[in-house]
Amino acid sequence: MTVDLSKLVAIDVHVHAERNASEPPDPVTSEYLAAAARYFGGDPPLPTAAEVADYYRERNILAVIFNIDDEAGMGRRRLGSEEILEAARANPDVLIPFGSVDPHRGKLAVRQARELIDAGVRGFKFHPNIQAFWPNERAFYALYEVIAQAGLIALFHSGTTGIGAGMPGGGGVRLKYSNPMAVDDVAADFPELKIILAHPSFPWQEEALAIAVHKPNVYIDLSGWSPKYFPEILIRYTNTLLKHKMLFGSDYPLITPDRWLADFAEIPIKDEVRPLVLKENAARLLGLAP
């Protein structure tokens, strides 16, 4: 991988591609992202993986990029991970590819995960809300076993979500699946699996912090919220017990790295902790630094 860490401003571990270059935006995706835009504010774009690469290169930021296979849970047409991989191969200086498979596919999901690992993904993104599954269901453990054996990362959405927010019935999205305590079971049963809990985990923030303190293999990314809204306890743990386990993530395109970084500069994070969160912790977790 061609990455010069010394020239990077940061490593963003939570970046979405929202469409394939050769396809029009899926209408279901557009509907849900419109609701998310009202939730987050602004009018986010629907970038392809190649467009993400151009955007992040302009900012000297390395991006962990993925989409989400949620056909079963949301009815959106699956983008697949092939275009993510293609863009990452063409832009290894700015993109690290994560894959996505629908756990409901059972043995096929395991097969797809193996194929994506062989193709070069560095981890997998799971979104229990929109994929509609409990992470700790034993039926999905064969999938985690494949990821763990490859030494890769499993990134789980946690806490509330802007997807479906404000829509009738929340767009059918159930928040219960994203309680991070369900991922605690996975962390206990797969101690060799590197796990990231994505986002400040409202309304289960203290649970997420407890898990990350208790389980050596669990990290937290700070994406999806402007840092100015971080609760005091999250800032306190970032500065102390979890300073080596907190990771910068934006949730682009719903929140831009520009906005996140500007707001992060204004909150009371210790000077010696800032570079850990912005780059150094992720570099070690991703195997880019010792």
Q: What is the reported pTM?
A: 0.95
**% of the chain beyond a pLDDT of 90:** 80
Q: What confidence tier does 35 reach under pLDDT thresholds 50, 70, 90?
A: confident
pLDDT of residue 251: 96
Question: Which region holds residue 180: left if phi is over 0, alpha if psi is between -120 and 50, else beta?
Answer: alpha
> Which tens digit of pLDDT belongs to each residue from 182-240?
999 999 999 999 999 999 999 999 999 999 999 999 999 999 999 999 999 999 999 99
Q: For position 194, what pLDDT does the model report?
A: 98
DSSP 112: H
Q: Residues 129-172: pLDDT tens digits?
A: 999 999 999 999 999 999 999 999 999 999 999 888 888 998 89
Alpha helices, DSSP H only, in the chain?
Answer: 27-40, 49-59, 71-74, 82-90, 107-119, 128-131, 141-149, 181-189, 205-214, 232-239, 257-264, 274-275, 281-285
Question: What is the rounded distance in angstroms from the CA atom of residue 157 to the CA atom of residue 179?
Answer: 9
Domains, the chain: 5-285 (3.20.20.140)
Model confidence band, residue 45 (pLDDT cutoffs 50, 70, 90):
confident
What span, in angstroms and rounded, lies between the C-alpha atoms of 141 and 148? 10
What distance in Å separates the CA atoms of residue 268 and residue 100, rounded to the nearest whole number?
35
Instruction: Classify 97 as helix, strand or coil.
Output: strand
Report the chain's mean pLDDT, rounded to a whole number: 94
Q: What is the average per-residue pLDDT within 64-89?
A: 88
Q: What are phi and psi of 65, to 5 degrees?
A: -120, 145
**Quick one: pLDDT at residue 188?**
98
pLDDT given at position 73: 74
Residue 2 clears pLDDT 70, i.e. is over it? no
